[in-house]
């Protein structure tokens, strides 16, 4: 941890160890509140979102009223993410993958449709509210389905084409989307499950709780670390010029390992130990993704842009309820995928995972199909349509 005073502001920078400690504290706070506040539990608000927002408001107060600026080094977020997706992959046998194929195509088509819809709707709203059409694109799929990564790329691009404040609007809209995506996905999925009276589908992979010793946990951790490291190497290869996210390589290698191990019986996989590693890694990964939340960016949103974002949020919710849920099968897996759809349709992949994990914990049944399909679509395949779509809209409405 380092600190320095400059221009009347004390700037404190936390190293990865301090950041991990703070993340653990606020994730614990989030879990404690969710367990003891029935509203938070009933509506499946993720513990990472609860803890992350509390930390965000503390950071905001210290910045504007205490003269202290905090920054976090989330370098350890990546290993936690890799560990979590490795445990998901180790739960996926070929039978589950076979069942995923048609659903994956349907879900991907929905993601592509939303990428186009958000820009069309954003432009129409911009014209209604009397702002530049390109700002509707910034408050569309650039900041919502694209999140902060796309905002920091396409905002300056639009500014370079003469659209003032495009970068500010894009980043602030992405912050709004991250909060909205984390707060709406769980309640929406929970409402779908209750309204249709769905029975949570307990996976055939689920087994009774096994007794566990420290050796079982350490052996499971070793297997997860070896597989995630191999997966990271696979992701670093260039696949015909296409780069895979690190977590995708870890998940695919874990799936292959699981099925080979099932066939040959090389290692004993302790399901309870794997589940414990999964719970810890996903919690830390998600809370650290929320720690970079810059709530003060929302101060930059003008009233028309804020209204446009609220209408975009309502539109995505309606699409999830009346389009995605029916075409995905109106079952438990479909409800979980709708939670993920809200998360990445408004925020980013961590929001999607956080929402799905919260709902699965609430109902005591993991949806392996959702955890295999949603990250693949929202973090890799959606860009095939989303990025060219964004580029076209920006160029068309700035010339």
**C-beta separation of 172 from 297 below 8 A:** yes
What does R_g of the chain's alpha carbons equal in angstroms?
A: 21
DSSP state of 266: -
pLDDT in the model for residue 93:
64
Contacts of residue 50, Cβ cutoff 8 Å, sequence gap at least 6: 29, 30, 33, 34, 40
Tokens found for residue 259: 């099925």
Which phi and psi angles does 213 have, rounded to 5°?
Answer: -110, 170
- pLDDT digits 0-9 by tens, 326-378: 999 999 999 999 999 999 999 888 889 889 999 998 888 888 888 888 988 88
User: Which range (52-61, 202-211, 268-277) has the least confidence?
Assistant: 202-211
Residue 365 in 3-state DSSP? coil
Tokens found for residue 91: 């739960």
pLDDT in the model for residue 206:
43
User: Which range (21-30, 46-55, 140-149, 245-254) has the least confidence?
Assistant: 245-254
pLDDT in the model for residue 207:
47
pLDDT in the model for residue 136:
93
pLDDT in the model for residue 205:
43
User: Which range (240-249, 274-283, 293-302) has the least confidence?
Assistant: 240-249
pLDDT in the model for residue 191:
93
User: Which range (2-6, 94-98, 140-144, 161-165) has the least confidence?
Assistant: 94-98
Residue 33 has pLDDT above 50, yes or no: yes
Q: How far apart are CA 88 and CA 279, in angstroms?
A: 11
**C-beta separation of 394 from 154 below 8 A:** yes
Residue 240 has pLDDT above 60, yes or no: no
Domain-wise residue ranges, the chain: 2-75, 82-203+284-396
Task: Tell me the residue ranges of DSSP E strands in the chain.
Answer: 2-6, 9-14, 68-72
Global pTM value: 0.83
pLDDT in the model for residue 317:
96
Mean pLDDT taken over the chain = 86
- pLDDT digits 0-9 by tens, 177-231: 989 999 999 999 999 998 888 877 544 444 455 677 888 889 999 999 999 999 8
pLDDT in the model for residue 244:
64
Residue 381 has pLDDT above 80, yes or no: no
pLDDT in the model for residue 328:
93
Alpha carbons within 13 angstroms on the beta-carbon side of residue 228 total 21
The burial class, CB within 10 Å (0-12 / 13-18 / 19+), for 222 is exposed
Q: How far is CA 234 from the centre of its chain?
A: 22
Q: How far apart are CA 334 and CA 367, in angstroms?
A: 9
Q: How far apart are CA 49 and CA 30, in angstroms?
A: 8
Position of tokens 């998600």? 286
The burial class, CB within 10 Å (0-12 / 13-18 / 19+), for 245 is middle
Residue 241 has pLDDT above 60, yes or no: no
**C-beta separation of 340 from 115 below 8 A:** no
Q: Give which of 200, 176, 199, 180 is closest to 188, Cα–Cα.
A: 180
């Amino acid at each position: 941890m380092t600190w320095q005073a400059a221009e009347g502001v004390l700037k404190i920078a936390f190293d990865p160890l301090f950041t991990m400690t703070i993340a653990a504290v606020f994730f614990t706070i989030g879990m404690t509140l969710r367990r003891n506040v029935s509203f938070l539990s009933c509506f499946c608000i993720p513990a990472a979102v609860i803890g992350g927002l509390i930390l965000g408001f503390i950071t905001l107060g210290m910045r504007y009223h205490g003269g202290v600026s905090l920054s976090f080094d989330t370098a350890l977020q990546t290993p936690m993410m890799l560990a979590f997706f490795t445990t998901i992959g180790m739960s996926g046998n070929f039978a589950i993958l076979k069942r995923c194929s048609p659903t994956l195509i349907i879900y991907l088509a929905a993601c592509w449709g939303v990428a186009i819809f958000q820009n069309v709707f954003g432009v129409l709203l911009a014209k209604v509210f009397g702002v530049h059409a390109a700002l509707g694109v910034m408050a569309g799929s650039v900041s919502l389905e694209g999140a902060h990564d796309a905002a920091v790329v396409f905002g300056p691009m639009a500014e370079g084409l003469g659209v003032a404040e495009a970068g500010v609007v894009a980043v602030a809209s992405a912050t709004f989307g991250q909060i909205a995506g984390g707060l709406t996905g769980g309640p929406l999925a929970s409402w779908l499950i209750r309204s249709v009276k769905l029975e949570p589908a307990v996976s055939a992979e689920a087994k009774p709780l096994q007794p566990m010793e420290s050796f079982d946990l350490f052996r499971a951790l070793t297997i997860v670390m070896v597989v995630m490291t191999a997966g990271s190497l696979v992701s670093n290869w260039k696949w015909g010029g296409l780069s895979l996210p690190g977590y995708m390589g870890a998940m695919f290698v874990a799936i292959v390992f699981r099925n080979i191990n099932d066939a040959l019986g090389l290692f004993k996989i302790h399901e309870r130990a794997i589940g414990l590693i999964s719970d810890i890694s996903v919690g830390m990964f998600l809370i650290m993704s929320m720690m970079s939340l810059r709530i003060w960016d929302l101060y930059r949103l003008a009233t028309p842009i804020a209204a446009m974002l609220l209408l975009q949020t309502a539109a995505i919710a309606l699409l999830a309820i009346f389009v995605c849920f029916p075409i995905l099968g109106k079952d438990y897996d479909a409800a979980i995928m709708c939670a993920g759809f809200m998360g990445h349709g408004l925020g980013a992949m961590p929001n999607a995972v956080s929402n799905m994990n919260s709902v699965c914990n609430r109902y005591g049944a993991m949806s392996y199909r959702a955890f295999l399909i949603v990250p693949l679509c929202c973090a890799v395949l959606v860009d095939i349509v989303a990025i060219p779509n964004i580029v076209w809209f920006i160029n068309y409405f700035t010339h």
